[in-house]
């Protein structure tokens, strides 16, 4: 079992030399980047090379591949994630040396001190929504600092230091760490059930979102459509609330959504006026994300038309319907979707783009608990594909559960002629190449390491 964050650990006034265990992820690497830019010596380790690690090395960080106690060096402070195992040799040594061991949210809170913090949370949509808010603020010369859970295409980075007092973050609800920030503006994209392994029940999950909202000092922007968000809204007291969505009661109301092509168009009704936009990204879900971002911007006092025009310049984030190449007339995309609602949204958007082409989804389930709880829902969402290849589960922070494999999803698929369960990693590229034909669109999907299949799939298609 992975470690539990220890929020009782006091944060030093000066972090000194900071060592990150698992530095390669978007969130961790973003925090590391900002600490380097603020003058800290940064070292770290991870299990494999990545683009994030390469970028940090260019900035001066010393990063080791593989976990070893010697990697700790003369670090003064250690930063970890909830996905860390307690037997990690660097973590064990840090404990023996009585070093401050901070959860990444504590390090991020350290960076946001004395800033006007915009915290964006939700079961899904938060990375894209964060990207939209950041992109718009930068287009409007507001120059925010930011840490996102994914790389923003325009800037080639998941984090950067700005000169204004605004700081925008993707706030992670998976382990409750989103409650530990001093938030001024809270954006809640939705409260779709997830991470129930941590919260124990849907009621507890929603109560934590209510705490997050009630902790916002300035205002809360929240979905008017998502049932969980509607229930959370009723628990918000003493806070200005801006609702957004298709519901006729929404303060920012979406109408005339056209998600039939590679770009989504829509109108927004706000304050007795109508504003129109066409985004550079596809899918109805992105129109909803844009409405949430718009609510944040107008809440900050930005002119409505200027806000929407700036949001429309957003070009996406990595691992959100990202095209990686084409071989033998088959285009290969990658997407981060890992919850049934996300899978449905991503495949609906993909369907609008592929037109008459067949859609082949290569899906890697993430977490044993999520797979056990939502196997039927995943199967229903994946039915939007023409053909599906299901891999085995990416365990992340969890121990295996007897009888819980990718087969739970594969077996729940209604039309078994369109389902291929491929549990062996090395067999996936050839399995995809065998069923793909010219004009098809392949999309690898999941928040584990399924993206690492893309080069092999392209190679197998070419062969």
Taking only the tens place, the pLDDT of each residue in 37-70 is: 999 999 999 998 988 899 999 999 999 999 999 9
Q: d(Cα 382, Cα 419) in Å, to the nearest integer?
A: 9
pLDDT of 401: 92
- Name which of 18, 14, 12 is nearest 73 in CA terms: 18
Topology annotation, domain 114-311 = 3.40.1190
More confident residue, 463 or 410: 410
Q: What average pLDDT does range 5-32 have in this prediction?
A: 90
Active site residue 371: no
The predicted structure's pLDDT at residue 51: 85
pLDDT in tens, 223-236: 999 999 999 999 99
Pairwise pLDDT comparison (339 vs 132), residue with the higher score: 132
Whether 342 has a pLDDT exceeding 90, the answer reads: no
Is the pLDDT higher at 262 or at 92? 92
Confidence (pLDDT) at 178: 86
List all residues 6 or more positions away from 380 whose beta carbon is below 8 Å from its beta carbon: 340
Q: φ, ψ for residue 195 (rounded to 5)?
A: 55, 30
Whole-number Å distance between alpha carbons of 26 and 18: 17
Lowest average pLDDT, out of 83-87, 218-222, 352-356, 432-436, goes to 352-356
Catalytic entry in 109, 115, 116, 126: 126
From the candidates 127, 130, 243, 317, give the one annotated as an active-site residue.
Answer: 127
Structure confidence by residue, pLDDT tens digits, 170-220: 998 877 778 889 999 999 999 986 655 555 677 888 999 999 999 999 999
> By the 8 A CB rule, do 264 and 283 touch?
yes
Per-residue pLDDT averaged across 253-257, rounded? 97
173 an active-site residue?
A: no
Domain residue extents for the chain:
18-104, 114-311, 322-462
Which whole number is the average pLDDT over 257-263? 89
* Closest C-alpha among 278, 254, 246, 276 to residue 264: 278
Tell me what pLDDT residue 341 has.
85
121 beta partners: 188
Nearest Cα to Cα of residue 119 among 139, 101, 144: 144
Phi first, then psi: give them for residue 186, nearest 5 degrees. -110, 125
Percent of the chain with pLDDT strictly greater than 70: 97
> Residue 117 in contact with residue 94, Cβ under 8 Å?
no
**Residue-averaged pLDDT of the chain:** 92
CB distance 316 to 322 below 8 Å: yes
Contact 42, 32 (CB under 8 A): yes
pLDDT given for residue 396 in this prediction:
78
- Model confidence pLDDT, tens digit, residues 376-414: 999 999 999 999 999 999 987 678 899 999 999 999 999
* Residue % of the chain over a pLDDT of 90: 75
Mean pLDDT of all residues in 250-265: 94
**Of 403, 433, 407, 437, nearest to 419 (Cα)?**
407
Question: What are the tens digits of pLDDT across the range 105-163?
Answer: 999 999 999 999 999 999 889 999 999 999 999 999 999 999 998 888 888 888 999 99
**CATH number among 3.30.565.10, 3.20.20.140, 3.90.190.20, 3.30.470.20, domain 322-462:** 3.90.190.20
| CB distance 138 to 167 below 8 Å | no
The pair of structure tokens assigned to 284 is: 């109805």
Cβ–Cβ < 8 Å for 446, 364: yes
Do 18-104 and 114-311 agree at the fold level? no
* Active-site hit among 43, 112, 170, 361: 170
Q: Is 211 a catalytic residue?
A: no
CATH architecture of 18-104: 3-Layer(aba) Sandwich (3.40)
């Amino acid at each position: 079992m992975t470690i539990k964050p220890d929020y009782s650990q006091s944060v030093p006034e000066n972090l000194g030399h900071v060592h990150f265990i698992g530095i390669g992820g978007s969130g961790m690497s973003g925090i590391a980047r900002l600490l380097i830019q603020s003058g800290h010596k940064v070292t770290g380790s991870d299990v494999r090379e990545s683009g994030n690690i390469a970028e940090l090395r260019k900035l001066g960080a010393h990063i080791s591949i593989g976990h070893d106690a010697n990697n700790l060096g003369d670090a003064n402070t250690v930063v970890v994630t909830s996905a860390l195992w307690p037997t990690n040799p660097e973590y064990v040594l840090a404990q023996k040396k009585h070093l401050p061991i901070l959860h990444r949210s504590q390090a991020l809170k350290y960076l946001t001190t004395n800033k006007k913090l915009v915290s964006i949370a939700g079961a899904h949509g938060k990375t894209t929504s964060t990207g939209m808010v950041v992109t718009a603020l930068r287009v409007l010369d507001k120059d925010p600092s930011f840490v996102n859970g994914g790389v923003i295409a325009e800037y080639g980075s998941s984090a950067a230091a700005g000169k204004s007092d605004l700081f925008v973050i993707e706030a992670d609800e998976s382990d409750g760490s989103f409650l530990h920030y001093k938030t001024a503006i809270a954006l809640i994209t939705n409260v779709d059930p997830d991470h129930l392994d941590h919260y124990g029940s849907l009621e507890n999950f929603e109560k934590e979102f209510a705490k997050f909202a009630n902790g916002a000092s300035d205002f809360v922007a929240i979905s008017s459509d998502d049932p969980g968000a509607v229930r959370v809204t009723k628990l918000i007291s003493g806070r200005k609330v801006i609702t957004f969505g298709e519901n006729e009661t929404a303060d920012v109301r979406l109408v005339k959504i056209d998600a039939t092509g590679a770009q989504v168009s829509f109108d927004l009704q706000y304050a007795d006026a109508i504003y129109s936009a066409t985004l550079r990204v596809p899918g109805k879900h992105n129109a909803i994300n844009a409405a949430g971002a718009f609510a944040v911007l107008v809440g900050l006092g930005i002119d409505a038309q200027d806000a929407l025009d700036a949001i429309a310049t957003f070009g996406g984030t990595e691992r959100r319907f990202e095209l990686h190449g084409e071989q033998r007339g088959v285009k290969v995309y990658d997407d981060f979707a890992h919850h049934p609602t996300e899978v449905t949204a991503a495949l609906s958007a993909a369907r609008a783009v592929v037109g008459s082409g067949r859609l082949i989804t290569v899906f890697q389930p993430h977490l044993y608990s999520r797979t056990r709880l939502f196997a039927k829902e995943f199967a229903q969402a994946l039915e939007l594909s023409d053909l599906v290849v299901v891999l085995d589960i990416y365990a992340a922070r969890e121990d295996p559960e007897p009888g819980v494999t990718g087969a739970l999803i594969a077996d729940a698929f209604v039309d078994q002629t369109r389902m291929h369960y491929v549990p062996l990693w090395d067999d996936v590229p050839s399995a995809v190449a065998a069923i793909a034909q010219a004009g098809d669109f392949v999309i690898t999907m999941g928040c584990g390491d399924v993206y690492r299949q893309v080069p092999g799939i392209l190679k197998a298609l070419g062969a």
